Structure 1
Amino acid sequence: MKAIVYTKYGSPDILQLKEIEKPVPKDHEVLVNVHAASANAGDWHLLRGTPFLVRFIYGILKPKNQVLGSDVAGRVEAVGSSVTQFQVGDEVFADLFGCGFGGYAEYVCAHENVFALKPANLSFEEAAAIPTAGGTALQGLRDQGHIQKGQHVLINGASGGVGTFAVQIAKLFGGEVTGVCSTGKMDMIRSLGADHVIDYTQEDFTQNGQSYDLILAANGYHPIFNYRRALGSKGTYVMTGGSNAQMFQAILLGPWISMLGSKKMGNLMAQPRHKDLVFLKELVEGGKIMPVIDRRYPLHEVPEAIRYLEEGHARGKVVITVK
């Protein structure tokens, strides 16, 4: 089968389209013919091996897993002898983050519990845009942010993959939502349901005197104490993405700031959860949320897709069409 492979850390230029061995499902695994995948910030972090701490998990000198890609959607081609949830021909989608990645390939093999039936009303490309970004937004707002109806919620990086889901999910949970994005993306964020939109090129939300009950930082950078200033007296700040400085401040300083006052600040390490995937599927099928896709690239153009995503200007998701 064809796959995008990397054997050392570096820029997207080192990615190569190669023929590798097609996987064979074990007893509890399913083999999926991948129709689409999607790119995430984690791809270029793993590709470059940055921040360096990720290498202690994924390989110090070279990557343990040589095929990137966590989000996939496709059709079941074969099932292991003990599989009970799926049969050949089922249309499924998944987040492969916890089982070795491998989405930038014609086939993937993983435990049946990793997959869920694809939303019936979406194409494979649309379904592949959901797992990582949708799951991160959901866990950041609901599980770590403990969002409540009527709260003032700000999404920094509202126009990216996580941000576009976060705006919709925050509205679904009854929040009064402010989205932060660049000038050309303001209308899109309003169309997703945001009550207020701030153009970060014209206004700094951490300096305008407004306060929020919950801030989800999905992109960008502000010093953590600036985020703290923008929180209400019992507000919560959740960092789900952005610059390395933003991440390290949330990890290292967030717990200390939380201990010293009533404002809670921290970092979310989102994890793939089957129940969340099913929940997102139900929201999509109910017409309550929808993925936003910026660009589509064929499999052999994954380097260009990751390069574009790394620039930080994508409107929603970047999708890879495999079949």
Structure 2
Amino acid sequence: MKKKRTRWQEIILVISSILLLIAGLTLVSGPWIKSALISNYSYDYTRETITSSKIQENQSTLGEFDYAAVVPPSLVDVLAAMNTDYSDQVIGQLTIKSLSMNLPILKGTTNDNLLIGAGTMQENQVMGMGNYTLIGHHMQDKSLLFGPLLKIKEGAIIQLNDQEILYTYQVQTTKIVSETDMSVLADVGDNRLTLITCDVSSATNQRFVVVATLVEKKNLNQKNVNTHEPKNNTEIMSKNVQEYQEVVSLTQKHEKRSISVILIGILILLFLGCLLFFIRKHYRQLEH
């Protein structure tokens, strides 16, 4: 009887040790996995072609705006989003080439929307008109979502598009305000873009705000309507090369994150395999 009790104590000790090791491994690798998955989600919805008619349909639906409920996403939230279809929420795209930012714009301020891109903050917002306000998460990984915004400079170019019009804004100023300061959402008589995120990646009651004014609108279905378009073949070729390099850079960044997820997954499987081998070996020793 004593021998049997000791055996069960050993088994419980082994299982407890394994659970602690798994918890530790999850704690260490969790942030990497979360960052890679968020990057993949965002990339999928910026790469996916959503038609202008679909965007108009999404824009006509009612959005959810629950600022108080928005919290930084956990690993569980990110994993749960794997089966979420965001195609009914996407209404455009935000691009800041100087920061290598390329994010989908989704209607409404919800935890789900902010998990993959920028969310609108008011129901009747219209791109290129009044104060178009967007909010996004500031993650520990500064390259994700709105994290890069804190490095933006005055004069930087920000572009929005809804598959019909390309809206170009130029940054005028940045500032830090209280989270309760709703004046940043107000229309002030001009056509501007306001981007909002937390000033730090941890809990905070302050917000970092970027204000940019509209400088140009271009119909994406028409050619050469922009007076700033290249005038000769050399300039056209130079622009095409630059755009190609930007696409390659974003693709390589996405691929690196995907490789990181795969490597972490392989390491976890190897680790669990070793643990399983250890358990079976130890259990057989106890039986003898």
* TM-score, shorter chain, exceeding 0.5: no
TM-score (norm 2): 0.25
Relative contact order, higher structure (CA 8 A, sep 6+)? 1
Larger radius of gyration: 2
Structure with the higher strand share, 1 or 2: 1
Structure with the higher helix share, 1 or 2: 2
